[in-house]
Structure 1
Amino acid sequence: MQDESESEGSGSGYGWWPSWRPTSMSLLKNTEAKILACIQNDVWARFVTLPTQDRIWTLTVTNKRLSKAPEKAPRTPLVMVHGFGGGVGLWIRNLDPLCRSRPLLTFDLLGFGRSSRPLFPSDPAEAEERFLDSIEQWRRAQGLERMILLGHSLGGYLATSYAIQYPERVSHLILVDPWGFPERPQPSEEEEGSGGQRSEVKRAPLPRWVKAVASVASLFNPLAVIRAAGPWGPGLVNRFRPDFKRKFEDLFDDDTMTQYIYHCNAQNPSGEVGFRALSESLGWARRPMLGRVSLLAPSLPVTLLYGGRSWVDSSTGARVAELRPPGTTRVLVIEGASHHVYADQPGEFNAVVEKICDGVD
């Protein structure tokens, strides 16, 4: 299943964090292995080394039945990009269903999960380009000519930017509760009392963990509190993200998923620093993507999937559709799902994505 002949290293320059944090890359590796053991199909897990010598932790999942069937014309692979603070393990409900008819690839973004953790620039354009360069170098190393590109949250922001810069590589762009699209509204006096949100915008209330992270994000890296808490860090994740245990409770009857989230984010910060460079605040981007969607290839099909109970405003999808040529953009809302649509309503999510993929080839 795995090819890990290369040694694991963090590749970062943040050695001043306390050594009393109960985490390590080995613990992350072991927790992730428990999650990936649920996959029923063929998995190839390995580090992909880029020309920069950064390494991107990558999974390729293929239908084991198709590998024994007569050869057919290869189908466009599906590439899935996780959001802020995530990693490949969070797709565990989606990997088997979505590899039925085509190869599925997913990777830990540079600076996150088990991928290398280099220094990121503080300039938002330069930080964004650092992420995009790593994705393009990864694609070249994989030999992918074209792909169906799916991104969740921060991954949706980066996937859109990538599709603008490399239009010939993307057959269909799927954005799942994408972060960083609308411009931050300027509150009027009437809006001040409602937290600066426009009265006509209807959002689900921000989760407790979002408010907690936002309270420190302006002073520190967004997840610094998890690292600063030392041995109490895992307890903080369990307290503020109990939903992750519930989302996967039929797969794991323990704290496997919250431990995974902890170990992904208790390592030395890197991609988190890059995210902070992109962010005006936790919920808003310094370079909002809504102002750039018109730069997407006019013929590129785009589907935006939102959770009906998410704190991300789904009305932004309608604005994306207005800014693009007619008939090229669809907006779907999956009821009963929060921001993590793929885990809250995996059956409906997988069915929608599979239908999109089948429409490509």
Structure 2
Amino acid sequence: MAKKISTLTFEIVSGIVVTTTLFYYKCAWTLFSLLRPNWISWNNYSEPMLRNIEKKIFKILKVPYRGWYVDIGPVVGPADKIWTISLNTESKKTPLVLLHGLGAGVALWCLNLDAFAATRPVYAFDLLGFGRSSRPTYSSDSLEVEQQMVNSVEEWRKEMKLEKFIFLGHSLGGFLATSYAIMYPHRVQHLILADPWGFPESPPDYHDLPLWVRALSYVLTPFNPLTAIRVAGPAGPWFINTIRPDISKKYAGVLDDDLIPNYIYQCNSQTPSGESGFHTMMSGFGWAKNPMVKRIHKLREDVPITLLYGSRSWVDHSATDVIKAMRYKSYFKWKVIPSAGHHVYADKPELFNQIVLKSCAFADGEESELEDETYGDKIPQTDLTQKYSFTSFQSGDDDAK
């Protein structure tokens, strides 16, 4: 009986389709692994260099900050530590906690930290497996990886002794912040999602998506998403700046042009721990194997949500209307930030900061609710949850309310 060979098919340009085998990619990668120099000597990762780049980026801050490692114990690895920064911790207002997206770290919030810390305590940390945090080996099961990441956030919260906080997550961070809020709703005063990843179900047709998203979805499926950065070795920062020159431009006039590409390279030239976890959870790069739309209705009704999208973002926003319908009894506001892409916090930092601060003030009872970005019609009060099956985790917090 003939053995079935898996194929990968993607459209280079309209009308030109390339089909190749998954076996080809695995052979090519094996050959490269044999021919390339030793990984340790080939890549240019340096913990002191990453630390120094982060310090240079944070020189633009006017509010003093503190950085340190929070020991969360054996959550995923034998001794996990999470790199954390804090600002204005003397304030008595509800703390704001920031969680970055894939391949990022705390320094990418540099355009937002001063504004946020002017009114309240602010904490940001490198998710376990990213940035300067520990690099444990995550599970090969998508739901277990998600739970491990959420558990690491909860252990971090316990060590920080934060009873309740406003949770702001970008991209992957938005997905995990929502998962955390489902498990520990009594800890989240307000959930702010900045262009979150992993909410809608994967569409049956990819043709309406940008070419680069389709290419990543098909070509990189066998590999971790940021493999090319490590393959580039010492040329990694140049490679990042070449394929994504817009990243540096977001910080132009504030930071030297080479700082952000070098920071991203240093964050991602290490062992791809969190990245491998993301790879396990993803379905075609742009979607999650266990999309949040299937279980958002399990989030407690009294947890408010503010959802921010970039008008030019590649992220699939199709789940928004469904979520609004599911949570018609709850506070759910969404805003589209004009001329912003996926990195809304850096594309339009002033407008982004303003909306986040208003949401924080509303959470503290100091501001009226945001105006919703709607088409003028009221959300129909119908129960759409029957359409979706869901999986949820049981909270292990003894004092859960």
Same fold at TM > 0.5: yes
Partner of 2:251: 248
CA contact (8 A) 1:298 1:325 kept: no
Letter in 2 for 1:252: L
The answer to whether residue 295 in structure 2 is matched with residue 292 in structure 1 is: yes
CA contact (8 A) 2:82 2:127 kept: yes
CA contact (8 A) 2:200 2:317 kept: no
Return the offset for 1:211: 5.4
Return the offset for 1:291: 0.6
CA contact (8 A) 1:18 1:228 kept: no
Secondary structure (helix, strand or coil) at the match of 1:351 reads: helix
The answer to whether residue 163 in structure 2 is matched with residue 133 in structure 1 is: no
- When the two structures are aligned, how many residues end up with a matched partner? 323
The answer to whether residue 286 in structure 2 is matched with residue 260 in structure 1 is: no
Partner of 2:183: 165
Secondary structure (helix, strand or coil) at the match of 1:19 reads: helix
CA contact (8 A) 2:96 2:165 kept: yes
Letter in 1 for 2:71: T
Partner of 1:57: 83
Partner of 1:11: none
Secondary structure (helix, strand or coil) at the match of 2:275 reads: helix
Letter in 2 for 1:32: E
Partner of 2:368: none
Return the offset for 1:18: 4.2
CA contact (8 A) 1:217 1:223 kept: no
Return the offset for 1:111: 0.2
Q: What is the TM-score when the length of structure 1 is the normalising length?
A: 0.86
Q: CA separation in 2, counterparts of 1:51 and 1:109?
A: 14
Partner of 1:113: 131
Q: CA separation in 2, counterparts of 1:212 and 1:271?
A: 22
Q: CA separation in 1, counterparts of 2:196 and 2:235?
A: 31
Q: What is the TM-score when the length of structure 2 is the normalising length?
A: 0.78
Partner of 1:230: 233
Return the offset for 1:38: 1.3
Secondary structure (helix, strand or coil) at the match of 1:267 reads: coil
Secondary structure (helix, strand or coil) at the match of 2:156 reads: helix
Letter in 1 for 2:70: V
Partner of 1:28: 50
* Aligned residue runs from structure 1 range 82-161, under 5 A: 82-161=100-179
Return the offset for 1:339: 0.3
Return the offset for 1:27: 1.4
Q: CA separation in 2, counterparts of 1:339 and 1:83?
A: 10
- List runs of 5+ in structure 2 lacking aligned partners: 1-37, 365-401
Residue 276 of structure 2, aligned match among 270, 273, 277: 273
Moved more, 244-253 or 91-100: 244-253
Q: Deviations over 1:239-287 (max 9, x none)?
A: 1111111000111233101111111111111000100110112101000
Return the offset for 1:212: 5.7
CA contact (8 A) 1:185 1:196 kept: no
Q: Deviations over 1:125-184 (max 9, x none)?
A: 110011011000000000000000010000000000000000110010011100001001
Moved over 3 A (4+): 210-216
CA contact (8 A) 1:213 1:223 kept: no
Secondary structure (helix, strand or coil) at the match of 1:50 reads: strand
Q: CA separation in 1, counterparts of 2:305 and 2:221?
A: 33
Percent of aligned positions with the same letter in both sequences?
A: 48
Secondary structure (helix, strand or coil) at the match of 1:57 reads: strand
Secondary structure (helix, strand or coil) at the match of 2:242 reads: helix
Moved more, 336-345 or 215-224: 215-224
Q: CA separation in 1, counterparts of 2:52 and 2:39?
A: 22
Judged with a 3 Å threshold, the aligned counterparts in structure 2 of structure 1 residues 348 and 61 are, in CA distance, closer, same or farther, namely same
Q: CA separation in 2, counterparts of 1:329 and 1:304?
A: 8
Q: Which has the higher contact order (CA 8 A, sep 6+)?
A: 1
Residue 345 of structure 2, aligned match among 342, 345, 352: 342
Secondary structure (helix, strand or coil) at the match of 1:22 reads: coil
CA contact (8 A) 1:164 1:295 kept: yes
CA contact (8 A) 1:307 1:341 kept: yes
Judged with a 3 Å threshold, the aligned counterparts in structure 2 of structure 1 residues 116 and 216 are, in CA distance, closer, same or farther, namely farther
Q: Deviations over 1:71-90 (max 9, x none)?
A: x7x21100010000000000
Partner of 1:220: 223
- List runs of 5+ in structure 1 lacking aligned partners: 1-15, 188-194, 198-202
Q: CA separation in 2, counterparts of 1:318 and 1:304?
A: 12
CA contact (8 A) 1:82 1:153 kept: yes
Which structure's CA Rg is the greater one? 2
Return the offset for 1:120: 0.6
Residue 44 of structure 1, aligned match among 57, 66, 69: 66
CA contact (8 A) 2:301 2:329 kept: no
Partner of 1:316: 319
Secondary structure (helix, strand or coil) at the match of 2:191 reads: strand
